[in-house]
Amino acid sequence: MSIQQQNAQGAKLAGLFVRRPVLAVVINALIVVGGLAAFLGVEVRELPQVDQPVLSINTQFDGASADTVDREITSEVEGAVARVQGVTGISSSSSYGRGQVTLTFADGTNLDSATSDVRDATARLINRFPDGVDAPTIVKADSNAQSIMQLSVTSPTLSRDDLTNLVDNQISQALAAVPGVADLQIYGEQAKVFTIGVDQNKLASLGLTVANIQTALSSIAFDTAAGTINGANQNISVRALAEVTTPADFENLIINGKTRLGDVATVVFGPANSSSGLHSDGKSGIGIGIIRAAQSNTVQISDGVYKAVAQLQQTLPKSVSIKVSSDDSIFISGALHEVERSLGLAVCIVIAVIFLFLMDWRATLVPAISMPVALIGAIAGIYLAGF
């Protein structure tokens, strides 16, 4: 095709828009609307979308060795979830008292539907697990993933165990409800527990062992229905309830014959030994890590966490302070701001250069309007292409 023919075709297209100005306005308006929809709906990330849908299944079996956990729990879970549709990879690890299975799904898998399928598959295993195994918990993320935000909860007046109750009962629930949060990592907890100190000499002198104490303790939490009492005017449900809530109640437990727990041991109610700790601004406290769910938005999670923290700060005691100590979304938001700034600066420089060459505001007005429209159209094209 010759240059003259190309120019003739271009003239026909330009003439169409000159003769049909309403058509030109409508097309440009569609481009602007599509670009605005792309700008408001496009996902904001530090890096391109490369993470696959991932689920983690965690199971607790207190006191069991790694071999027992692997044989009795992990292998059973692997066999049950292997038949779930869309699974492309399975990895597992077993440690003392804990088993973890991580599932990787194919790209495009609906994570909510996959979670329901995995939950149904693991629910059938509960009756096959040994006694003492907790029900499996499913997390929409890799349990070994790094947290995207770190928070610290401190108080100059409350003790560590009181802060632990506050975090478990109020703060963690509010943060876990933020959209996009898959799990929370809590550091420095120190809950109150009953600690039993056994005197081995007294225990041996009475011909008893630690197993006898364990047997006595296994029946202290008793709560069952004992039937009903039917009267002429009312029906009463009867419950058989046995509660042990104080150290004195523990010490009065009968181990064997007339021997009580207090004869061979001392019971103390106090903070448990903590395996981790946190100090923020010179004050002891509890740390909370926010784990991002697969295929979620880091910036939106950060905004939701800040809103939740602001709401919590109004309801918590005045001495309790929640501080965000690290946030990965700060770098992402800064990079996004720099991109917007660079685009705006580039458009202004190009328009200034065009004006210097033409020295006519009317002639410069056309590219000044067309460049932002073309930029918005490019964003719309990227959005519609699925990137």
Residue 148 · residue 288 · CB < 8 Å? no
Banded pLDDT at 382 (limits 50, 70, 90): very low
Banded pLDDT at 205 (limits 50, 70, 90): confident
pLDDT at 384 over 50: no
* CA dist., res. 141 & res. 358, Å (int): 57
Lateral strand order in the sheet of 87-95: 87-95, 98-105, 54-60, 137-139
Q: For the ranges 39-48, 193-202, 217-226, 374-383, which has the lowest average pLDDT?
A: 374-383
CA angle 90, 183, 92 (to 5 degrees): 20
Residue 102 · residue 139 · CB < 8 Å? no
* 38-66: pLDDT as tens digits: 666 665 555 555 557 888 888 888 878 88
* CA dist., res. 368 & res. 19, Å (int): 22
DSSP string, 243-291: ---SHHHHHT-EEETTEEHHHHEEEEEEEPPPS--EEETTEEEEEEEEE
* CA dist., res. 366 & res. 369, Å (int): 5
pLDDT at 311 over 80: yes
Q: Would you state the pLDDT for residue 340?
A: 74
Q: Would you state the pLDDT for residue 255?
A: 81
- pTM score, whole prediction: 0.60
| The CA-based dihedral angle spanning residues 257, 260, 265, 266, taken in that order and rounded to the nearest 10 degrees | 180
* CA dist., res. 83 & res. 78, Å (int): 9
* 226-273: pLDDT as tens digits: 667 776 777 777 666 666 777 777 778 888 878 888 888 888 877 666
Q: Would you state the pLDDT for residue 277?
A: 66
Q: Alpha carbon 110 to chain centroid distance?
A: 17
% pLDDT > 90, the chain: 1
Residue 13 · residue 358 · CB < 8 Å? no
Average pLDDT, the chain: 77
* 269-288: pLDDT as tens digits: 776 666 666 667 777 788 88
Q: Residue 95 is inside which H or E element, if any?
A: strand 87-95
* 146-181: pLDDT as tens digits: 778 888 888 888 877 778 888 888 888 888 888 888
Mean pLDDT of 75-86: 86
Q: Which two tokens stand for residue 29?
A: 């308006």
Residue 176 · residue 198 · CB < 8 Å? no
* CA dist., res. 239 & res. 226, Å (int): 5
* 82-139: pLDDT as tens digits: 888 888 888 888 888 888 888 888 877 788 888 888 888 888 888 888 877 888 888 8
Q: Would you state the pLDDT for residue 383?
A: 45
Q: Would you state the pLDDT for residue 9?
A: 65
Q: Would you state the pLDDT for residue 362?
A: 76
